Amino acid sequence: MLNTLKNRFEQGYRTCSYPKEKPAVFERYRGRPLIQKDVSQKIVEMCANACPQDAIDIGLKKIDMGRCVFCGTCERISKGAFVKFTGDFEISTSKKEHLLTDGDLPALAEHSKQHFKKLFGRSLQLRQVSAAGCNACEADLNVLATPFFDLARFGINFVASPRHADGIVVTGPVSRNMKTALLTTYEAIADPKVVIAVGSCALTGGPFLGSPEITEGLDTILPVDLFIPGCPPHPLTNLHALLTFFK
Amino acid sequence: MTTAFIEISNGEKLAREQIPHLVFDEFQKNAMEIVKEGGKVVQYFGYQDGSSIKLLAVLRTDKLFIAGCDAPDTYPCFSQTCEPFHMFEREIAEQFGIKPEGHPWLKMVRYHPNYREKMPDVFGNDYKEDIPGNYNYYQVKGDEIHEVAVGPVHAGVIEPGHFRFNCIGERVLHLEIQLGYQHRAVENLLYNVLAKRLPILAESIAGDTAIGHSLCMAQAVEALTKVKPDKGAQIIRSIALELERLANHIGDLGALSGDVAFLPPANYFGRMRGDFLNLSLLICGNRFGKGLVRPGGVRFSLSDDLRKTMDERLKELKPQVEHVLDLLFAASTVRARFEDCGIVSNNDAEHLGLVGPAGRASGISYDARRCFPTEHYGQIDIPENKKPSGDVYARARVRYDEVLQSIKIIQSLIDTPVETNIVEDVNYNLPSSSFVVTINEAWRGEVSHALLTDQNGKILRYKVKDPSFHNWNGLAMSLRDTGISDFPLNNKSFNLSYCGFDL
């Protein structure tokens, strides 16, 4: 008993004050990409060719955060001349086309559906379906339940049954072998319901682009309300998206 | 021991013609001899070479051995007398339609059509159907026998898989685990995509083992292209692999604590796991170490400032970790639940070929860091860490030891300046007709990649093996004669990868 109390005092209070204050993320973190438009076509092409995810649109001089895995290759080879990854983790969008960006993202709060805020603003119960990713997105969703992020203090919880849920959070590129289970879970949720796609796999197929076994974008099979980019998205990216979109 | 197999080192490039090409009977006889005398299967896979299908096996004792042969269409199975081949034979049957006659449980591994044109499916499946659930499960019959089916969608933020329990009352007689739901055809992608995608794919085989898998990939490419990473890069890679081990082991101990309803350590470890993930972020900008390892070295240096920050964090975290470990392991209620729960005997573990902490908990001391060291591990003293009891307690205790060791290893590695030339350009010009196999001890155990190139230097076959490929049957075995309510606890004590298995 004494040991339990001693540990309790040592651990102290650990919950972050986000969204009131933004916690500092280590410097090397790669968040929202910022594009320098006044750069030569040659450099843009060099970045586009080096990009393992083919996420750079040469003509528009934009980067597709849905395909991007935030590896930072383009920033390194252009020495920041074309793309710079900022420390900004608030990068989610409500429309897929907003993911193709020059770094200037529309404010998520203004694009969220007002009836969602009314319905789910005080209590949001989510069912997570892991559909063939690498388990990193799942891991960084799971940490939202730890004391540092403490998602439950906002009235948002992950629940065990789709019957108890207001929506689903999907991770992974939806393999052929997982598609039926995902669609059945979706159908089991009562209307009106929310669909949230987390991670570049769920957004576009991510690292597995081109595989015949996967779906290239959850939005091709379900109506997606919220797109959270990253490989995986930082827990704060997830937290920002949920709070801004529903609160 | 005389054998027709030849010795090979971890990460050694061989010309394919150096690999003994045996007639099948001799291949089988020699392979079984090695394994029956305690050898283990590191890799055993098929590949298409021109119009023919060939098999290749890498086996280990205290050394590695390799040989290959032409694949027959059917053959008397190895598994009947030599269990460690069990999953590998099923995988070959699924991928290439080669039938092991008399296999004790010939069932698909992941549910996908085989890779050969016009080769009939061994399992008689119709892959036009999307659902991978129409197949027989092992059945127990009797008056009061009942089955419990769980998954693929589980009641938490967890990967998908199907568990089928055969029970009498609360007692589990048999558990069958059917995976494959996460199948993304990673191996096929690895030899079809442009080389620039290789590291991204390797990091996404199993995100919680991003460093383990990307090290195997990088070392394979380095061996083939004769590039040697500098000492600093090797140190940074070793630090990254230990950070990965730390974060996952700490998370597992927290989850185990939660599963026996002792919530303080569950919460403390849950939070501290994040602190260790953040140390990976400190080095490379990603909590899972993605983007760090590339063939030739690492993409991020470890400056003195970073070393200082890391050292400060570790000094702050270490006593907390020690105190919470003590809190968890000194609680009699926790001990009562952990001890004697889900025992896998040493004999069973040997037959199943368990690796990593799961193997060490059942008395198998194998640790690739010690037995086939890569990177900086040749200069690090790794203790044996084996435990005799094979229960949940042993699996937790192995993690306890390894957590403290990993902190010590990292602290000693960041004690002196680390200099490395960061990698900018990667050479992917692979030599023709070559072979390499790489092995690393990731947090779940032995990860291995094998790479074959064709006469033009194109990747002919890229074979990935996650330690979970060996260990899922260990979990099934641990549940035998155990209460079904102890499944979550045992599951956490193994904490295996679904996506690493499903590929």
Residues from chain A contacting residue B286 (CB–CB below 8 Å): 29-30, 70, 231
- Closest Cα to residue A237, out of A225, A245, A229? A229
Within 237-266 of B, beta carbons closer than 8 Å to A belong to: 264
Instruction: Give the pLDDT confidence of B205-248 residue by residue, as tens digits.
Output: 999 999 999 999 999 999 999 999 999 999 999 999 999 999 99
How would you write the pLDDT of chain B (503 residues) with one tens digit per residue?
A: 688 899 999 999 999 999 999 999 999 999 999 988 889 999 999 999 988 999 999 999 999 999 999 999 899 998 888 888 999 999 999 999 999 999 999 988 998 989 988 888 888 888 887 766 677 888 899 989 999 998 888 888 899 999 999 999 999 999 999 999 999 999 999 988 889 999 999 999 999 999 999 999 999 999 999 999 999 999 999 999 999 999 999 999 999 999 999 999 999 999 999 999 999 999 999 999 999 999 999 999 999 999 999 999 999 999 999 999 999 999 999 999 999 999 999 999 999 999 999 999 999 999 999 999 999 999 999 999 999 999 999 999 999 999 999 999 999 999 999 888 899 888 899 999 999 999 999 999 999 999 999 999 999 999 999 999 999 999 999 999 999 999 999 999 999 999 999 99
Rounded Cα distance between B446 and B413, Å, is 23
Ordered by start, the domain boundaries in chain B are: 6-132, 186-502
Please, what sign has the CA dihedral across residues B68, B70, B71, B74? negative
Does A3 contact B330 at a Cβ distance shorter than 8 Å?
yes
Q: Tokens 């990713």, residue?
A: A133
Tell me the sheet residues that pair with B67. B57
Residues from chain A contacting residue B180 (CB–CB below 8 Å): 177
Neighbours of B398 (CB within 10 A): 22
Residue B1, pLDDT score: 64
Does ipTM top 0.95?
A: no
The CATH number of the structural domain formed by A109-246 is 3.40.50.12280
Q: Is the CB of residue B274 less than 8 Å away from at least one CB of chain A? A: yes
The CATH number of the structural domain formed by B186-502 is 1.10.645.10
Instruction: Give the pLDDT confidence of B454-465 residue by residue, as tens digits.
Output: 999 999 999 999
Does A30 contact B324 at a Cβ distance shorter than 8 Å?
no
Instruction: Give the pLDDT confidence of A119-167 residue by residue, as tens digits.
Output: 888 899 999 999 998 999 999 999 999 889 999 999 999 999 999 999 9
Length, in residues, of chain A: 247
Residues from chain B contacting residue A71 (CB–CB below 8 Å): 199-200, 290-291
Residue of B nearest to A215 (CA): B184
Residue A2, pLDDT score: 87
Confidence of residue A105 (pLDDT cuts 50, 70, 90): confident
What count of CB pairs under 8 Å joins A to B?
Answer: 199
The answer to whether residue A55 scores a pLDDT higher than 70 is: yes
Residue-wise over B72-106: b if at least 16 C-beta within 10 A, else e? Answer: eeebebbbeebbbbbbbbbbbbbbbbbbbeebeeb
Within 200-229 of B, beta carbons closer than 8 Å to A belong to: 200-201, 203-208, 210
